[in-house]
Amino acid sequence: MAMEIKRNSKTLVKEKTALLIIDIQQRIIDVMQDKDCLIENTLKLIKGMKILNVPIYYTEQYPKGLGQTIDVIKNELKFDAMQKMSFSCSGAADLFKDLIDKNISQLVVCGIESHVCVQQTVLDLLENGFQVNVAADAVSSRKEYDKKTALDRMRDNKAEITTTESILFELLNICGTAEFKEIIRIIK
């Protein structure tokens, strides 16, 4: 009798996953730690999710004050952001309802600031039964200590803290496919 090999239940599955990009906006980006890394890895996630046909959502916090999403990201997405006044994305229109309606149970999260909008969103997603994977190399805060503390708190609350490359390979699951070859070009 053959033994069934199980995969970890928290392994990302593209049919159940969506990407959520939080508040990478014009008037705040320049004060973020490692902003170039944040932008580069967010773009890798966007491009990878497009290849894998994974839904993408993005938000803007009070765009009248903080400006719109930075052009390089907005141009890659080519659709409108969900606007919000609350720090948590739970206040971004019908975002949570839409995720539930589309049977999304796993979220990949990136954006700013780690200790405010990202953290509050992650905690609310977890409270509502979603599995959350935070791309640690695609989140930022003005201060490194705030980012580190936020990542620790999210991990303590059962968020998966991982990296952009890990996320993309996890969603791929196998090598040798056309998708694999396209994603390899993105991450190099």
Considering the domain boundaries, does residue 1 fall inside one? no
From 44, 74, 84, 147, the catalytic residue: 84
* Residue 70 is assigned to a structural domain of this protein: yes
Catalytic status, residue 143: no
- The answer as to whether 3 is a domain residue is no
Both tokens of 174, joined, read: 């196998």
Position 116 scores a pLDDT of 96
pLDDT value of position 5: 86
Contacts of 64-71 spanning 24+ positions with Cβ under 8 A: 65/27, 66/23, 66/25, 66/26, 66/27, 66/28, 67/25, 67/26, 67/27, 67/28, 68/25, 68/26, 69/21, 69/24, 69/25, 69/26, 70/24, 70/25, 70/26, 70/29, 70/39
Q: Is 8 among the domain residues?
A: no
* Catalytic-residue membership of 23: yes
Q: Per the residue annotation, which of 74, 110, 117, 137 is the catalytic one? A: 117
* pLDDT (0 to 100) of residue 36: 97
pLDDT profile of the chain (188 residues), mean per 10: 84 96 95 96 98 96 89 92 91 90 97 97 96 98 97 98 97 91 92
Q: Which of 117, 102, 133 is nearest to 59 (CA)?
A: 117
Q: What is the pLDDT of residue 174?
A: 87
Please name which of 172, 151, 166, 124 lies closest in space to residue 20, comparing C-alpha atoms: 124
Q: Report the Cα–Cα distance between both ends of the chain, in Å, rounded.
A: 43
Give the count of domains, the chain: 1
User: Does residue 87 lie in a domain region?
Assistant: yes
Instruction: State the residue range of the domain holding 82.
Output: 14-187
CATH number of residue 61's parent domain: 3.40.50.850
152 is catalytic: no
Say what the pTM is.
0.95
Instruction: Please give the Cα distance from 2 to 31 (Å, whole number).
Output: 56
Structure tokens belonging to residue 9: 């239940």
The active-site residue, picked from 23, 44, 110, 137, is 23
For residue 4, tell me if it sits in a domain. no
> Is 49 inside any structural domain?
yes
